[in-house]
Amino acid sequence: MASEVPIAKSCPKCDLPDPLKRNKSVDVSSYELPGAYTYEGVPLAYFTKVEHIEKIRNLHLREDDVIVASYPKTGTTLTQEITWLIRNNADTEAASKSYNYVRVPYLENCFPPESDGILLLEQLTPPRHLKTHLPWHLCPQKSIIDGKHTKAIYVMRNPKDALVSYYYFYCSCASFGQFPGTWSDFFELFLMDKLCYGNILDHYVGWWAMRDNPNILLLKYEDILKDHAGQIRHIGKFLGYDLSDDTVETIRNFTTFKKMSKNPMTNYTSIPEDIDTSIVPFMRKGQVGDWKNHFTVAQNELMDMIINKKLAGTGLTFEYDSTNN
């Protein structure tokens, strides 16, 4: 993939226009996430305990549980909200009264203790939903591929936009250390495979290999943005629902970027001690192609090489441009 798009100005130390107006780099080589450790090749942080991952792997899920899985910043919250509404009769009133992270617990999160994902899951009455950013090899595979046939929905996004979104999340989120560096510093962390949950492309490839399993649905963020109603139907069908036009429209309308970014149940303004949305809103832009405002020509060329190498032979491709924004 050649870099044909004129991207943000090229510069040796990548001193790009940065909406956070940062011009000071951090020492990336010594930078660590709070409580950083690596588990089976996956960089994780203090909010996931090793014992917790072992528990998750062997978790006995119900047949009617649904897992929403993803690499961070690929459209997880949007997919969670759509999925929850599909399985709760498009009850937007109930969804307006309960935080998305309570309705759909974050499985591997252990802090604070009252937000422990496994405990929250146990407190839910069916139909239960859960969210995870764990790569396929750390997930409760047994429940998905044999025995219970728990369903999993994995959402992906073009890795350039996902990394830009992840950068801003790193800057605003205390669990991720409120990263003090520039976009270029963050890109270096990516190159060094130091980002929490590992390399985005490895994460994709792990789940992509499972795409023919009838209990797993793979989605792309760009497809949801292009055909929101169609993708709601598609998810519904996978979950065994034949949704009426009215129901689809109710869910679509409730899950637009405009609505979700204003909705305190989904926009994460409720936990400022962890996600400081005054630094960067969680619901930032919700667009395809913002990477062009961040990647230098050199970074883009390097990224294309990495993408080509990691995805070679997989058949997995992404859209990097949109006319729909």
The residues carrying an active-site annotation are 133
Structure token digits, residue 179:
């990263």
Minimum separation from the CB atom of position 121 to ligand A3P (A)? 19
- Among 179, 172, 183, 185, smallest CA distance to 17 is for 183
Cβ distance to ligand A3P smaller for residue 168 or 238 = 168
At 201, phi and psi to the nearest 5? -75, -35
| Given 76, 150, 199, 231, the residue binding ligand A3P (CB under 6 A) | 76
| Given 74, 132, 269, 299, the residue binding ligand A3P (CB under 6 A) | 74
- Among 88, 203, 94, smallest CA distance to 139 is for 203
Of 40-48, 75-83, 175-183, 301-309: span binding ligand A3P (CB under 6 A): 75-83
Q: Interaction with ligand A3P in 207-266: which residues (CB under 6 A)? A: 255-257, 260
Q: Interaction with ligand A3P in 148-187: which residues (CB under 6 A)? A: 161, 165, 168
Is residue 75 part of the contact set for ligand A3P (CB under 6 A)? yes
At 216, phi and psi to the nearest 5? -125, 130
Residue indicated by tokens 């994780």: 44
> In angstroms, how far is the first alpha carbon of the chain from the final one?
23
Cβ distance to ligand A3P smaller for residue 216 or 288 = 288
Of 85-93, 103-111, 171-179, 283-291: span binding ligand A3P (CB under 6 A): 283-291
Cβ distance to ligand A3P smaller for residue 21 or 309 = 21
Minimum separation from the CB atom of position 167 to ligand A3P (A)? 9
Q: What share of the chain is helix, strand, coil (3-state, %, to 5)?
A: 40, 10, 50
Minimum separation from the CB atom of position 12 to ligand A3P (A)? 27
| Given 149, 234, 285, 310, the residue binding ligand A3P (CB under 6 A) | 285
Report the DSSP pairing between strands 66-70 and 42-44. Answer: unpaired
Is residue 289 part of the contact set for ligand A3P (CB under 6 A)? no
Q: Is residue 118 classed as helix, strand or coil in its secondary structure?
A: helix
Residue indicated by tokens 């040796």: 12
How many CA within 13 A on the CB side of residue 100? Answer: 25
What CA–CA distance (Å, rounded) separates 24 from 73? 25
Note the residues at the interface with ligand A3P (CB under 6 A): 70, 72-78, 161, 165, 168, 255-257, 260, 283-286, 290
